[in-house]
Amino acid sequence: MMSVRTRLDRFLSMTTGINRGAVRLMLAKGRVQVDGVTARDIQQIVHQFSVITLDGTVLQENKPVYFMMNKPLGVVSATRDKKHKTVIDLMPPCDSSSLHIAGRLDFNSSGLLLLTNDGAWSRNLSSPENRVKKYYRVTLEKPVMKEYIQTFRAGIYFDYEGITTQPAELTILSEYLAEITVIEGRYHHIKRLFGHFQNRVLNLHRYRIGNLNLDSRLALGQYRTLSENEMRDIVESDPS
């Protein structure tokens, strides 16, 4: 599957093995259609979900798909892994081909995970400009202190990346339980935030991304297709 936008003549040449000169002639003769419309411009841009036919034969007809999963502990957020079961292994092959993960969860974290074959959509979710919030429930080894709230809101310097984290919102639910909202997803991000106070995360569960809540009907390891509204509205204005 094409993963990026490309020129039509380049796509046709790569797909059919026909040289660019012959491709120009095919287009001039009106033998190629893109999304049901005869294409003649060699510089026309096509993408992974463009329906492209040559003399009525389909060369590409991909459909975007979007899934939410309730990821269990002990499963890797990856498409393949030599040692551990992956989230892709939890899905039938017919549903998992060409999927990638839109926002990973650590091996020992659970909850809402999104999978898609639409690269533009997943990049939109992770774009800092869109500031899509991720919501987590955290169980800690030591009591959660009120001083964490302001420190997280001000940002913490991550020496490995040489950056200061974006503001994170912390709500203390009980002595060892809290909810935290972040707009970025760096390596072991939340564990490192609490690690600033030498407080180890015992359990981390993501229950919401943007406007999308984890479906409570999904058991651990189960998944379902996102509705059109869920897929579209997840990156729109957050009501909270």
CB 117 within 8 A of CB 212: no
First to last CA, the chain: 37
CB 103 within 8 A of CB 198: no
Classified as helix, coil or strand, 190 is helix
- What is d(CA 138, CA 60) in angstroms, rounded to the nearest whole number? 44
- What is d(CA 114, CA 214) in angstroms, rounded to the nearest whole number? 10
118 is catalytic: no
Q: Which of 106, 118, 233, 238 is catalytic?
A: 106
| Helix 8-16 and helix 20-28, axial crossing angle in degrees, nearest 10 | 110
CB 141 within 8 A of CB 199: yes
> Which residues have a catalytic role annotated?
106
